[in-house]
Structure 1
Amino acid sequence: MTPRPPSTGSKKPKSTKSQKNPKKNPEPDPKKDPQQSPEKNPKKDPGKKAAKKLEQQTEEAVPLPSPALDAADRERLLAGTHHDPHSVLGAHPLPGGVAFRVLRPYARTVTVVSGELRTELHDDGDGFFSGALALRGVPEYRLVIAYAGETQETEDAYRLLPALGELDLHLIGEGRHEELWKALGAEPMTHQGVTGTRFTVWAPNARGVRVTGGFNFWDGTAYPMRSLGGTGVWELFVPGVGESELYKFEITRPDGSKTLRADPMARRTEVPPNTSSIVHSSRHEWQDEEWLARRAETPAHEAPMSIYEIHLASWRPGLTYRQLAEQLPAYVRDLGFTHVELMPVAEHPFGGSWGYQVTGFYAPTARLGTPDDFKFLVDALHRAGVGVLMDWVPAHFPRDEWALAEFDGRTLYEHEDPLRAAHPDWGTLEFDYGRREVRNFLVANALYWCEEFHIDGLRVDAVASMLYLDYSREPGQWTPNEHGGRENLDAVAFLQEMNAVVYRRVPGVVTIAEESTAWDGVTRATHHTGPGGFGGLGFGLKWNMGWMHDSLGYVQHDPVHRRHHHHEMTFSMVYAYSENYVLPISHDEVVHGKRSLVSKMPGDWWQQRATERAYLAFMWAHPGKQLLFMGQEFAQGAEWSEAHGPDWWLLDPAYGAEADHRGVRDLVRDLNTVYQDTPALWQKDTEPSGFEWLVGDAAEDNVFAFVRYDAEGTPLISLSNFSPVVRHDYRVGVPDTVPAWHETLNTDASRYGGGDIHNPSPLKPDPQPWHGRATSIHVTLPPLATVWLRPA
């Protein structure tokens, strides 16, 4: 079949008939037919050069084999089970010419256009169109597709080579593609001179995969993907598809049934409850170079770190990422916190999960804006001098049928053993950390947030549930590891790899473990083996859940009973240097009937606020970094609710909040200010030489006194009185190197809502030995208060 003007009458062009019976209806010779020779009609030929080049490629009229697909390929394409659609669709050499095959359901006609060539293909039925041209080689061409009432001109996706390189496939196959988000998912790009989007997805058990979305009216029949070797990766470059297009993958399971899935690597999603993925390309221009340049100067465990934990959607309900950027950085900076910790921002279908049941591991939740909007918020915090930590949830994922669960028809991201796959507490599924591709998915995800969103640290949720095979399981519900133990060796290896890769690639980033047991070596380097025979997990910091539990237990007792629980406040120093710790008063402690921090305290309203103030100052002085959940900084009385967030109205002067809630907030501001200005409170958090008890056994008095030292030996004394009575002339032994002391902070100050009982300044030591020291001082301890003393 040689070039011929487009058909204007019959649906089947004459060129198709000549192909069937070339002797009866011989092809015209373009050299003898002026209507077929663009060189004889230059005025009618806008593509003269292209036509001449095509003519040079044209063979003499010869019988050509039928270009139509055989029944087997047609059936596989229509069923969505073809592994290599590019081998049969598109343009392919055949004896004597080139075959063109197109699959476009609902199309009226399909025309091949290349330069002056414009040939309508034969309608083979069921959406298939084909034609054969007597060409010496495959030309560059486009398709003109006519539907009822609409005509589209587009590149043919099936004439293009794979848009994913061999190195990418090799790294994916080995499970060590550290920039996996650049290889899988939807990537707008220009490929072989064509603008569009490359779609790639890992689905090794699928019989076939098709791309479906708004650009094809959610019918993926015309967009089958090709399988790239043994990696389990499917790929299709779709011309003309760009940013903001909605899409999903239609997967044919091993049993032949179909499932429509969101992209596991989607970088943007619809606003829940809608579940489609969205093609995205970032346009944000970062302005936090100064912050990034200096954040690696000091290791996190040797630097000040005071963390404000936030649930973004409810901090001030209704605000978008960009609106939060106008308010949150100023608020956090004013209160003196060094970091914010964001409860999970990765996309999740149920808001009541607070983000801990993730379906879109690579997409910030669309509830508050786009990924670039979230980058804008991080950028604003950095420019305000505030670091950004983020909760990260690699322990489990929900069972939603459009997400990761049995993604390609079989267990894939979850463990194949049902006992290992089902999380007993949350009704979710646990990742299969032993599968290299799954481990790669998670390790790359950690890097993705740090590199693409400039996150300064990841707080890893529910680490204990990952480490133990018998976590929340009864005997018979779990299988021991290869050594007969209960440790999940795959999870250990995954956490070690994740930490090692993150610290290697992203200087200045810190990883923090929420690990509620006494697992040895959570913050030990991965190459250092501990007593249990395991290398360290490699985290930078660990939440001190023991301190949180014991100290809250102590202050919730009535003061008259606290002498029986004195050890709950001192026991933390027995293990304080076994790990690098964060002291957390998190969202978990102020919900579900546990009451807010101030409401945990016994007594009347004055005593409750006084006890919270004393507790916060004790916490800020204790070795370890500190974390406080939003609303607790101003003594909110009600539990936190994700529906309405903190009770900001409590700070309204019209409510008379100056002495109540504003006073506690002012204390938190002063705690952070003194904390950052006093290296003794943070510089040697992980060294025993940075702490010393002065009074640790005064159970009858409900008094705790200790001294903190910085690297130069400069001390700060913290004195806490958790009884409701004033203790006058209370003698405390002190370091004899300091000639005089003065109060640098007193939680009983009237501006905080206290009784304003102070110590005169300076406090000069007496040569009277006390508490094993050569000198001592007489101090007045206000009721339910903490006092900090520094050298005068």
Structure 2
Amino acid sequence: MTTSQSQPNIHPKLYEIRGAQYSKQNKNTTFRVYAPNARCVLVILTSYGTEMSRLAMQKDDSDLWETVTDKILPGATYLYLVDDCNGKQMLRTDPVSFSVVYVPEVNQVHSIVHDHTVYQWSDQLWMQTRARTDPLRSPLSIYELQLKSWKNDVYHPLNYRQLAPELAIYCQQMGFTHVEIFGILDHAYKPARGYQVANYFAPYRDNGICDDLKFFVDHLHQNNIGIILDWILTHFQHYHQSDSFSISLHEFDGTNLYAGEASAWGTLYFDFNKEETCRFLFASALYFLDVMHMDGIRFDAVSTMIRRHSNDIPAAIAFLRNLNKTIHRCYPGVLCIAEETDGYRNLTKIMDFDLKWNIGWSCDARNLLRTPYNERSNHWQQKVLNILNVACKNEDKTILTLSHDDTDSGEHNSNSVLLSCVSHSSNDSEKFADLRNFFAWQTLAPSRGHMIHMGDELVQPMSWYQRFRQGRSSVDWSLVNTSSLHRKMQEYIADLNRLYQHHQQFWQNGEQDFRMIYEYGPNLIVAYHRGTYDNRRMAVIHNFSNYGYSSYDISLPSSDSDIRRIQNIVEIFNSDNPVYGGSGLFQNVEIEIINSFASGRSFRLTIPPLATLILEEYLS
């Protein structure tokens, strides 16, 4: 993993070389910053925004500017004063800042000297177990959230240390195995999603410093919850706060060390043909795995990183392949997940990703929700059968996601929230039944895991982003203080997650254990198997219509070699249960197994409207 210290600019762990490196043994701090074309660089030591002293830096043969001082202790703040190649002087935050702080006295963000040896980890058991575990053969139930707005509004954010115990308890109650956190990399504006990154090593300053985030990760690990970092490597914030101060990487020494063309988000694309881009971002990823103990990386906007203007970008593809292979070699058990929206074929194999988001499922499932019941049979093939039939044939392993983008209609409306998707329903009972069916479809359909975004577990009527922009918590926690259908939906998802975790038939072999049992488009009913363990096989039945059946025969495929082994079958989950807000009129106390010479074997059972049943088959 390491190369010679005499070549610091090709060292894969640049965070061990650059930035403010405090040595407890030598009781001094070494500052190093890469600015190959700068005329001069100074360290400006600050206190509450006021300059206290200046330290001259010298440039070495590898284009690093360096100085050593015994006058600086951890916690001190600093900036670089860069005299760039064009003769322009600008105060800059350190690109390899491990912590940053906002200084209101001068309306600036300053870097903080940090001592990484202070925090003592207590997650050794988690880390050892993770290294021995195949994450693709383990349960994966992800809760996606933005920490700065999950509990409080962004103007009164909680520290990472305050968030950790609350989130750990909530995930345990809800049955989530992992959280995926976005908005963690430091960014400029409070009321922003967090995708215009200013610093690729420092955590978002309003929630705390580096050791606060370590505590957060550590605490979740001690409660058996994994953490996936939403990492933005395709583009970066390039604008400067003023003519004399900047937190951006852009034009750090007066030249374009990182940037490519303008992006669609008002940022600049990274140029992966540039050596500095590759080594800098490579180090950022390893830093969060190595130093911060993250359990996975979700790579944002991979589609536009690897392909633009109908052309592949070979340098970006090579970067991803190299980084993912390094992660798998050096950090076993860590997940590499791609958000890729354009259907790049065989992406997981070509670039060594473990998983990719199944964007197609997300679009089709939500569109099916929007479709009136009497029109759904027209979309049966595309939105239901195709999802199932391609699951085992897909070149990529996928997770079924309902992300922050899916329910974000901007700050002025909530047209994309799940409740809006079922606005065609005549009453709340039907709406929530349809949504319970939707979540069961997401959790149980063949995949390698599933993810929902904060607030969707409550089916809140206002989008997270609209609430966020109005200066409120992104999650409407008042909904759980009543016995409403929103509260019952939260309980439903918790039970669904726990059932998913408890029965390894749903995750031990992922989509490979899927087998179709039955489908009939006119009735909008589909049934499938999801694997066998200890001679118990799981069968799942979805009814996407608003018509229920007091008696319905599900014929079993004659090609199923285990048909004759079925001794008994029991309903273990019913989304129409009254505890979840269902009618309770379609419960299967006993399921009859029918043997017919003409049609073979079948199940005779009750099927509720807009509902999911999970059956457990006992095999001989």
- Please state how far the C-alpha of 1:239 moved relative to its aligned partner: 2.4
- Please state how far the C-alpha of 1:557 moved relative to its aligned partner: 0.6
Q: Per-residue CA shift, 1:172-208, capped at 9, x if unaligned? A: 1xx3x122101000111268x5x33111001111111
Q: Distance in 2 between matches of 1:312 and 1:723?
A: 38
Alignment partner, residue 475 of structure 2: 646
Name which of 32, 35, 47 aligns with 1:203.
35
- Please state how far the C-alpha of 1:765 moved relative to its aligned partner: 1.3
Alignment partner, residue 522 of structure 1: 347
Q: Is the CA contact (8 Å cut-off) linking 1:586 and 1:627 kept in structure 2?
A: yes
* Counterpart residue identity of residue 306, structure 1: S
Taking the TM superposition and a 5 Å limit, the aligned residue runs for 1:226-265 are 226-229=58-61, 231-265=62-96
Q: Distance in 1 between matches of 2:211 and 2:170?
A: 22
* Counterpart residue identity of residue 135, structure 2: A
TM-align CA RMSD: 2.1
In terms of Rg, which structure is larger? 1
Alignment partner, residue 559 of structure 2: none
Alignment partner, residue 287 of structure 1: 122
Q: Is the CA contact (8 Å cut-off) linking 1:598 and 1:632 kept in structure 2?
A: no
Alignment partner, residue 597 of structure 1: 418
- Please state how far the C-alpha of 1:222 moved relative to its aligned partner: 4.6
Taking the TM superposition and a 5 Å limit, the aligned residue runs for 1:54-69 are none
Alignment partner, residue 61 of structure 1: none
- Please state how far the C-alpha of 1:360 moved relative to its aligned partner: 1.1
Alignment partner, residue 322 of structure 2: 497
1:405 aligns with 2:250: yes
Q: Is the CA contact (8 Å cut-off) linking 2:547 and 2:609 kept in structure 1?
A: yes
Q: Per-residue CA shift, 1:472-499, capped at 9, x if unaligned? A: xxxxxxxxxxxxxx10001001101110
Taking the TM superposition and a 5 Å limit, the aligned residue runs for 1:647-726 are 647-653=476-482, 656-657=483-484, 660-687=485-512, 690-696=513-519, 698-710=520-532, 714-726=536-548
Alignment partner, residue 422 of structure 1: 262
Q: Is the CA contact (8 Å cut-off) linking 2:538 and 2:615 kept in structure 1?
A: yes
Q: Per-residue CA shift, 1:643-664, capped at 9, x if unaligned? A: 32111111113xx42xx11211
Q: Per-residue CA shift, 1:531-572, capped at 9, x if unaligned? A: xxxxx1011111000111111111111111111111212212
- Please state how far the C-alpha of 1:762 moved relative to its aligned partner: 3.2
Q: Which moved more, 1:761-770 or 1:547-556?
A: 761-770
Taking the TM superposition and a 5 Å limit, the aligned residue runs for 1:90-109 are none
Alignment partner, residue 467 of structure 1: 306
- Please state how far the C-alpha of 1:325 moved relative to its aligned partner: 1.6
Q: Is the CA contact (8 Å cut-off) linking 1:684 and 1:711 kept in structure 2?
A: no
* Counterpart residue identity of residue 779, structure 1: L
Q: Distance in 1 between matches of 2:493 and 2:24?
A: 53
Q: Is the CA contact (8 Å cut-off) linking 1:683 and 1:711 kept in structure 2?
A: no
Q: Distance in 1 between matches of 2:390 and 2:588?
A: 36
Q: Per-residue CA shift, 1:637-696, capped at 9, x if unaligned? A: 21113232111111113xx42xx1121111111111111111111112142xx1111223
Name which of 362, 384, 387 aligns with 1:569.
384
- Please state how far the C-alpha of 1:276 moved relative to its aligned partner: 1.3
- Please state how far the C-alpha of 1:453 moved relative to its aligned partner: 1.1
- Please state how far the C-alpha of 1:214 moved relative to its aligned partner: 1.1
1:214 aligns with 2:42: no
Taking the TM superposition and a 5 Å limit, the aligned residue runs for 1:203-602 are 203-214=35-46, 222-229=54-61, 231-271=62-102, 274-282=108-116, 283-317=118-152, 318-401=157-240, 402=246, 403-415=248-260, 421-423=261-263, 425-470=264-309, 486-524=311-349, 536-567=350-381, 568-576=383-391, 577-592=394-409, 593-601=414-422, 602=424
Q: Is the CA contact (8 Å cut-off) linking 1:619 and 1:626 kept in structure 2?
A: yes
Q: Which moved more, 1:235-244 or 1:707-716?
A: 707-716
- Please state how far the C-alpha of 1:261 moved relative to its aligned partner: 1.2
Q: Is the CA contact (8 Å cut-off) linking 1:733 and 1:776 kept in structure 2?
A: yes
- Please state how far the C-alpha of 1:620 moved relative to its aligned partner: 1.0
SS in 1 for 2:56: coil
Q: Kindly tell me: are residues 206 and 715 of structure 1, through their superposed partners in 2, closer, same or farther at Cα, counting changes over 3 Å? A: same
Q: Kindly tell me: are residues 215 and 728 of structure 1, through their superposed partners in 2, closer, same or farther at Cα, counting changes over 3 Å? A: closer
Q: Distance in 2 between matches of 1:750 and 1:492?
A: 51
Q: Is the CA contact (8 Å cut-off) linking 1:650 and 1:661 kept in structure 2?
A: yes
SS in 1 for 2:408: coil
- Please state how far the C-alpha of 1:221 moved relative to its aligned partner: 8.5
1:184 aligns with 2:18: yes
* Counterpart residue identity of residue 168, structure 1: Q
For structure 2, the 5+ residue unaligned runs are 241-245, 557-562
Alignment partner, residue 138 of structure 1: none
- Please state how far the C-alpha of 1:636 moved relative to its aligned partner: 1.4
Q: Kindly tell me: are residues 695 and 563 of structure 1, through their superposed partners in 2, closer, same or farther at Cα, counting changes over 3 Å? A: same
Q: Which moved more, 1:726-735 or 1:436-445?
A: 726-735
Equivalences, count: 582
Q: Is the CA contact (8 Å cut-off) linking 1:225 and 1:236 kept in structure 2?
A: yes
Q: Distance in 1 between matches of 2:330 and 2:20?
A: 24
Q: Kindly tell me: are residues 330 and 668 of structure 1, through their superposed partners in 2, closer, same or farther at Cα, counting changes over 3 Å? A: same
Alignment partner, residue 600 of structure 2: 774
- Please state how far the C-alpha of 1:573 moved relative to its aligned partner: 2.9
SS in 2 for 1:740: strand
- Please state how far the C-alpha of 1:706 moved relative to its aligned partner: 1.1
Q: Kindly tell me: are residues 732 and 769 of structure 1, through their superposed partners in 2, closer, same or farther at Cα, counting changes over 3 Å? A: farther
Q: Per-residue CA shift, 1:41-82, capped at 9, x if unaligned? A: xxxxxxxxxxxxxxxxxxxxxxxxxxxxxxxxxxxxxxxxxx
* Counterpart residue identity of residue 715, structure 1: R
Q: Is the CA contact (8 Å cut-off) linking 2:46 and 2:52 kept in structure 1?
A: no
Q: Distance in 1 between matches of 2:49 and 2:294?
A: 37
Q: Distance in 1 between matches of 2:402 and 2:451?
A: 6
- Please state how far the C-alpha of 1:768 moved relative to its aligned partner: 2.4
Q: Kindly tell me: are residues 224 and 215 of structure 1, through their superposed partners in 2, closer, same or farther at Cα, counting changes over 3 Å? A: farther
Q: Is the CA contact (8 Å cut-off) linking 1:344 and 1:393 kept in structure 2?
A: no
For structure 1, the 5+ residue unaligned runs are 1-164, 416-420, 472-485, 525-535
Q: Distance in 2 between matches of 1:669 and 1:166?
A: 47
Q: Distance in 2 between matches of 1:680 and 1:747?
A: 19
- Please state how far the C-alpha of 1:711 moved relative to its aligned partner: 6.2
Determine which structure has greater relative contact order: mean sequence separation of CA pairs < 8 Å that are 6+ residues apart, divided by chain length: 2
- Please state how far the C-alpha of 1:712 moved relative to its aligned partner: 6.3
Q: Distance in 1 between matches of 2:48 and 2:190?
A: 31
Q: Kindly tell me: are residues 736 and 555 of structure 1, through their superposed partners in 2, closer, same or farther at Cα, counting changes over 3 Å? A: farther
1:612 aligns with 2:447: no
- Please state how far the C-alpha of 1:307 moved relative to its aligned partner: 0.5
Could you tell me the TM-score, scaled by structure 2's length? 0.90
- Please state how far the C-alpha of 1:347 moved relative to its aligned partner: 0.5
Alignment partner, residue 140 of structure 1: none
Q: Is the CA contact (8 Å cut-off) linking 1:212 and 1:218 kept in structure 2?
A: no
Name which of 739, 744, 747 aligns with 2:575.
747
Q: Is the CA contact (8 Å cut-off) linking 1:721 and 1:782 kept in structure 2?
A: yes
Could you tell me the TM-score, scaled by structure 1's length? 0.71
- Please state how far the C-alpha of 1:218 moved relative to its aligned partner: 6.0
Q: Distance in 2 between matches of 1:541 and 1:322?
A: 30
SS in 2 for 1:362: strand
Q: Which moved more, 1:371-380 or 1:587-596?
A: 587-596
Q: Distance in 1 between matches of 2:280 and 2:532?
A: 42
SS in 1 for 2:322: helix
Q: Is the CA contact (8 Å cut-off) linking 2:184 and 2:203 kept in structure 1?
A: yes
- Please state how far the C-alpha of 1:463 moved relative to its aligned partner: 0.4
* Counterpart residue identity of residue 407, structure 1: F
